[in-house]
């Protein structure tokens, strides 16, 4: 797994730029002027961090995950972990500024109008009453998935910055990549997965009304394909395709790694070749539960232009 450990000096430098960005008017993450400043200031992140994001963009490695450690997140300064449904971060705090700048060094930040009110930085927190839900508000196992697999412009990368983790450290982000899982699958299974025999249902908030288009689970170079699957939302009517999907799920589980993120650690998952999920844990709802900031990244902002009003960062 590609890992960058920031030195104490790098952490200080990142903290200084993030504090300056957090104090930049109007101090609201979703404001286009603030995003423009964040984009510009992200060029002042330490060289070793910019070097790592540049190399990761060129080659996500076998795991398709970049881990950045020792980012400036000061747990003692954090407010209580939010507990409300659909929680998002609107205020430009230091941790949010860090998440946005790392995001903007990889590509362009993106969000979806119909998800978490289109906020560019979203809170991944457990929500009382949603324990069993197959969403990031739940605390039972979250099935592995490509993020927004149903969307024609799903993110190229997903960023997850840890602000706080649960104690004892049970909650883990599971990641697995098709580059690792591919060798565990038979040629017959791979052939079926390359055919348009699968559909992925959007969450109710996104529903466009029409039937979900059939798609292949594996696409591109047979030896190094992209993957599009969500083991909760992708289905198929035919038995052969069901068996192939089960085999793929097994291979992904066999190849999976569990990342227990600590405060100040950010995982960037390449959403083309890697899938992710979450292990079960026990929230306490006492204000000190696990808390991540999530961002989405597109590499080619222009390609999504027809899906974005006013050339902003929110897709419909």
Summarize as ranges the residues that interact with ligand AKG (CB under 6 A).
Answer: 124, 136, 142, 147, 158, 160, 173, 276, 278, 294
CB 165 within 8 A of CB 279: no
Would you say 71 or 124 has its CB closer to ligand AKG?
Answer: 124
Torsion angle in degrees (nearest 10) through CA of 123, 121, 257, 285: -10
What DSSP character marks residue 122? E
Would you say 198 or 231 has its CB closer to ligand AKG?
Answer: 231
Would you say 272 or 294 has its CB closer to ligand AKG?
Answer: 294
294 is in an annotated binding site: yes
Encoding tokens for residue 6?
């920031």
Contacts of 297 (CB under 8 A, 6+ apart): 103, 106, 107, 108, 109, 110, 155, 156, 157, 158, 159, 268
Would you say 120 or 158 has its CB closer to ligand AKG?
Answer: 158
Q: Measuring CA to CA, how many Å separate 191 from each of 91, 226, 237?
A: 48, 14, 17
Would you give the end-to-end CA distance of the chain in angstroms? 33
Q: For the beta carbon of residue 238, count every other beta carbon within 10 angstroms.
A: 12
302 is in an annotated binding site: no
Encoding tokens for residue 14?
């990142």
101's contact among Fe ion, ligand AKG, none, with CB below 5 to 8 A by partner kind, is none
124's contact among Fe ion, ligand AKG, none, with CB below 5 to 8 A by partner kind, is ligand AKG
173's contact among Fe ion, ligand AKG, none, with CB below 5 to 8 A by partner kind, is ligand AKG
**In the complex, minimum distance from the CB of residue 4 to ligand AKG, in angstroms, rounded to a whole number:** 19
297's contact among ligand AKG, Fe ion, none, with CB below 5 to 8 A by partner kind, is none
147 is in an annotated binding site: yes
Site string for Fe ion, 129-168 (x = CB under 5 A): ------------------x---------------------
Q: Within 13 Å of residue 99, how many CA atoms lie on the same side as its CB?
A: 34
**In the complex, minimum distance from the CB of residue 259 to ligand AKG, in angstroms, rounded to a whole number:** 8
**In the complex, minimum distance from the CB of residue 276 to Fe ion, in angstroms, rounded to a whole number:** 6
Q: For the beta carbon of residue 41, count every other beta carbon within 10 angstroms.
A: 18
Between CA 279 and CA 31 the distance in angstroms is: 34
Between CA 52 and CA 54 the distance in angstroms is: 5
**In the complex, minimum distance from the CB of residue 294 to Fe ion, in angstroms, rounded to a whole number:** 8
**Residue of closest CB approach to Fe ion:** 147
Between CA 104 and CA 267 the distance in angstroms is: 14
- Beta partners for residue 4, in sequence order: 68
**In the complex, minimum distance from the CB of residue 41 to Fe ion, in angstroms, rounded to a whole number:** 27
**In the complex, minimum distance from the CB of residue 229 to Fe ion, in angstroms, rounded to a whole number:** 13
294's contact among ligand AKG, Fe ion, none, with CB below 5 to 8 A by partner kind, is ligand AKG
Tell me which residues touch Fe ion (CB under 5 A).
147
Q: List, as residue ranges, the binding site for Fe cation.
A: 145, 147, 276
């Amino acid at each position: 797994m590609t890992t960058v450990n920031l030195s104490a000096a790098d952490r200080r430098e990142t903290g200084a730029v993030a504090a300056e960005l957090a104090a930049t008017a109007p101090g609201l993450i979703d404001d286009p002027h603030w995003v423009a400043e964040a984009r510009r200031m992200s060029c002042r992140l330490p060289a070793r961090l910019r070097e790592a994001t540049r190399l990761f963009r060129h080659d996500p490695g076998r795991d398709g995950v970049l881990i950045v450690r020792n980012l400036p997140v000061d747990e003692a300064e954090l407010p209580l972990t939010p507990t409300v449904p659909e929680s998002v971060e609107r205020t430009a705090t230091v941790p949010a500024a860090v998440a946005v700048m790392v995001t903007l060094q990889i590509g362009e930040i993106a969000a979806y109008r119909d998800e978490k009110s289109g906020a560019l930085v979203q809170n991944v927190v457990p929500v009382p009453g949603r324990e069993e839900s197959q969403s990031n508000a739940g605390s039972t196992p979250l099935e592995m998935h490509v993020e927004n697999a149903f969307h024609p412009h799903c993110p190229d990368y997903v960023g997850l910055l840890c602000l706080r983790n649960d104690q004892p450290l049970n909650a883990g982000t599971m990641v697995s990549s098709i580059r690792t899982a591919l060798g565990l699958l038979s040629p017959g299974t791979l052939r079926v997965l390359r055919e348009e025999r699968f559909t992925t249902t959007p969450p109710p908030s996104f529903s466009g009304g029409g039937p979900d288009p059939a798609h292949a689970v594996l696409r591109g170079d047979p030896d190094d394909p992209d993957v599009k699957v969500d083991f909760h939302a992708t289905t198929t009517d035919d038995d052969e395709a069901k068996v192939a999907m089960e085999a793929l799920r097994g291979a992904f589980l066999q190849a999976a790694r569990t990342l227990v993120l600590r405060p100040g650690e950010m995982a960037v998952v390449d959403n083309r070749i890697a899938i992710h999920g979450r292990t079960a844990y026990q929230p306490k709802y006492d204000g000190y539960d696990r808390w991540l900031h999530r961002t989405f990244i597109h590499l080619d902002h222009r390609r999504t232009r027809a899906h974005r009003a006013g050339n902003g960062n929110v897709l419909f």
